[in-house]
Chain A
């Protein structure tokens, strides 16, 4: 059973608010990821990190930012939320040495974000 946690599970908030979505994992994984998923659509990578102090933007342009100060923690922040940010946000991590490409990604249960 993967140990990766996301909070909050659901968030409904007004336009213009600053939001931070939390993601923590207890597996000691170096790689962490944020995905955005809309209903019936594929997951899109918006941010990833190879380790502490490493962050990169993913394939889907996002106005959010991330930080990786500790191995276990990878929060995502929206400085000023807009209705277009309404979506499900999934955090994942993967570990293992060598060819990390063959390691499964462990996902949290997501944050469903609604901006009014």
Chain B
């Protein structure tokens, strides 16, 4: 069964600290893996997209890694800011259809305290 599991479910850190969010997936055949940030009451916003051949991609203070062999990804946030408080969603796309079906994780709820 194609699934996307994220951990931890929630995380609280102090402003300025770094953190790493995890994503494990069983989706096959794999097309790409995406990380989205969803602020409360808003729609998700794309942070990174990685294909099979990419093992790291950065977007400012966000760095995503992908290990396609172990089917694991991480999102590392450096020097956290209060505005980083949000839900971070891991999404995996398969190659099994023209649409490229997306499998969503439940997200990690990150809270950054001052």
Contacts and interface: CB of A to CB of B under 8 A. Distances in A.
A104 B93 contact: no
Contacts of A41: 106
Contacts of B51: 102
Contacts of A21: none
Nearest to A2: B45
Taking residues whose C-beta sits less than 8 angstroms from the other chain, chain A's interface range is 20 to 34
A63 B100 CA distance: 24
Interface of B: 4, 31-32, 34, 41-46, 49, 51, 89, 93, 95, 98-102, 104-107
Given A102-B49, A107-B44, A110-B43, A40 B95 contact: no
Given A4-B43, A45-B102, A48-B99, 18 more contacts: A40-B106, A41-B106, A42-B89, A42-B104, A42-B106, A42-B107, A43-B104, A45-B101, A59-B101, A90-B44, A100-B100, A101-B95, A101-B99, A101-B100, A102-B49, A102-B93, A105-B102, A110-B42
Contacts of A102: 31-32, 49, 51, 93
Contacts, number: 56
A87 to B, nearest CB: 14
A75 B102 CA distance: 21
Contacts of A42: 4, 89, 104-107
Nearest to A44: B104
Interface string A92-116: 1000000011101111111010000
Contacts of B98: 50
